[in-house]
Amino acid sequence: MAATSTVFLTEPQVMIRDAARRITADVIAPTAAERDRTSAWPHNELKALAELGYLGMLIPEEYGGLGLGVTELCLAQHEFATADAGLATIVHVHNFTASLIARFGNEAQKRRHLPAMARGASIGASLIS
């Protein structure tokens, strides 16, 4: 019988969750406390996440992203947040900003911003007032 936490997940979703768990243990957790203490931006950690596609999860494949859904993003974010909630928030805001550009941007905006966001060369942000 499958573990309760995987009963409703597809095999690819389990793989995404498990991969995010590994990168959290190997890359994010070892530096999280020091970055928190010094208010340091997670440059190296975001670079590693970009190289593995986590910064392009909600970006369509045609623009360099993975073209995944919100469930897959949330599975990864949950793992990242176990070690560093701030970094998980960066990944969340970045991906949802990219998804807004993908959904509502014109073609020129998509071509200008989405490939750079998928590579981690540009980090998405949102302003709510």
pLDDT tens-digit map of 56-110? 999 999 999 999 999 999 999 999 999 999 999 999 999 999 999 999 999 999 9
State the Cα–Cα distance between residues 61 and 42, nearest whole angstrom: 25
State the Cα–Cα distance between residues 54 and 64, nearest whole angstrom: 12
- Structure-token match 């993908």, residue found: 102
Q: What pLDDT score does 54 carry? A: 98
pLDDT in tens, 15-62: 999 999 999 999 999 999 999 999 999 999 999 999 999 999 999 999
> CA torsion, points 55, 58, 84, 123, in degrees to nearest 10?
40
> Which tokens in the block code for residue 98?
């990219």
Nearest-10 crossing angle of helices 29-38, 43-51: 140
Confidence of residue 128 (pLDDT cuts 50, 70, 90): confident
Q: What pLDDT score does 50 carry? A: 98
Render the burial of 83-100: b for 16+ CB within 10 Å, e for the rest. bbeebbebbbebbebbbe
* pLDDT over 80 at 4, yes or no: no
State the Cα–Cα distance between residues 34 and 122, nearest whole angstrom: 24
Q: What pLDDT score does 127 carry? A: 87
Domains and CATH numbers, the chain: 15-33+43-119 (1.10.540.10)
**What 3-state class would DSSP assign to 96?**
helix
> Which tokens in the block code for residue 24?
């959290």
State the Cα–Cα distance between residues 86 and 90, nearest whole angstrom: 6
State the Cα–Cα distance between residues 101 and 3, nearest whole angstrom: 37
